[in-house]
Amino acid sequence: MAQGSGGATAALEALGAVPHGQEERYRREGWWRDTTYIDDFLAVVANQPDKVAIVGHRSDPAPAVTTLSYRQLGQLVDRFAGALLDLGVAPGEIVSIQLPNDWVFAALVLACGRIGAVANPLVPILRDREIAFMLGRTASPVVIVADRYRGYDHAAMLDRVLTGLADQAAADRSDLRVRGFAVGLDAPVGRVEPFGPHFVDERWEDTLDRSALDARALGPDDLAELQFTSGTTGEPKGVMHTPNTIYAGTRAFAEIGGLTGDDSVLMPSTLAHQTGFLIGIVMPLSTGMKVVYQDLWDPELFCRLADDEQVTFSAGATPFLTDIVAECQRRGRRLQSMQSYVCAGAPIPSPLVEATKADALGELIAVWGMTENGGVTSTVPGSPTEVVADSDGLPVPWMEARVVAQDDPATEVPVGGVGRLLVRGASQTAGYFKRPDLYQAQLSGGDDGLGPWFDTGDLARRRADGGIRIAGRTKDLVIRGGENVPVVEVEAVLFGHPGVKEVAVIGYPDDRLGERACAVVVPEGEAPTLADLTAFLDQAGMAKQFWPERIEVVAEMPKTPSGKIQKFHLREQFGG
The CATH fold assigned to 478-574 is GMP Synthetase; Chain A, domain 3 (3.30.300)
What phi-psi label fits residue 213: left (phi over 0), alpha (psi between -120 and 50 degrees) or beta? alpha
The alpha carbon torsion through 92, 230, 483, 179 (nearest 10 deg) reads -40
The pLDDT score that the predictor gives to residue 560 is: 61
Q: Provide the 3-class DSSP secondary structure of residue 247.
A: helix
The pLDDT score that the predictor gives to residue 272 is: 95
For 491-523, what is each residue's pLDDT tens digit? 878 988 999 999 999 999 998 888 999 999 999
CA angle 450, 451, 454 (to 5 degrees): 130
The pLDDT score that the predictor gives to residue 1 is: 38
The pLDDT score that the predictor gives to residue 344 is: 87
Q: Which element (helix H / strand E) includes 319?
A: helix 318-331
The pLDDT score that the predictor gives to residue 563 is: 64
Q: Within the chain, which residue ranges are assigned CATH 3.30.300.30?
A: 478-574
Regions of the chain with pLDDT less than 50 = 1-5, 231-233
Query: If 0-12 CB within 10 Å is exposed, 13-18 middle and 19+ buried, where does residue 342 land?
Result: buried
Would you say the pTM of this structure is higher than 0.85?
A: yes
Q: Within the chain, which residue ranges are assigned CATH 3.40.50.980?
A: 37-217
**Does domain 37-217 fall into CATH 3.40.640.10?**
no
Outline where 338-426 has alpha helix (H).
350-359, 385-390
Q: Under a CB-based contact definition with an 8 Å cutoff, are residues 456 and 370 in contact?
A: yes
Encoded amino acid at 212, one letter: A
Outline where 142-204 has alpha helix (H).
154-172, 195-196
CA angle 24, 432, 179 (to 5 degrees): 115
Closest CA to 38 of 204, 214, 253: 214
The pLDDT score that the predictor gives to residue 38 is: 98
The pLDDT score that the predictor gives to residue 476 is: 67
Q: Provide the 3-class DSSP secondary structure of residue 44.
A: helix
Strand partners, 118: 94
The pLDDT score that the predictor gives to residue 430 is: 96
For 320-376, what is each residue's pLDDT tens digit? 999 999 999 999 999 999 999 999 877 788 889 999 999 999 999 999 999 999 999
The pLDDT score that the predictor gives to residue 191 is: 97
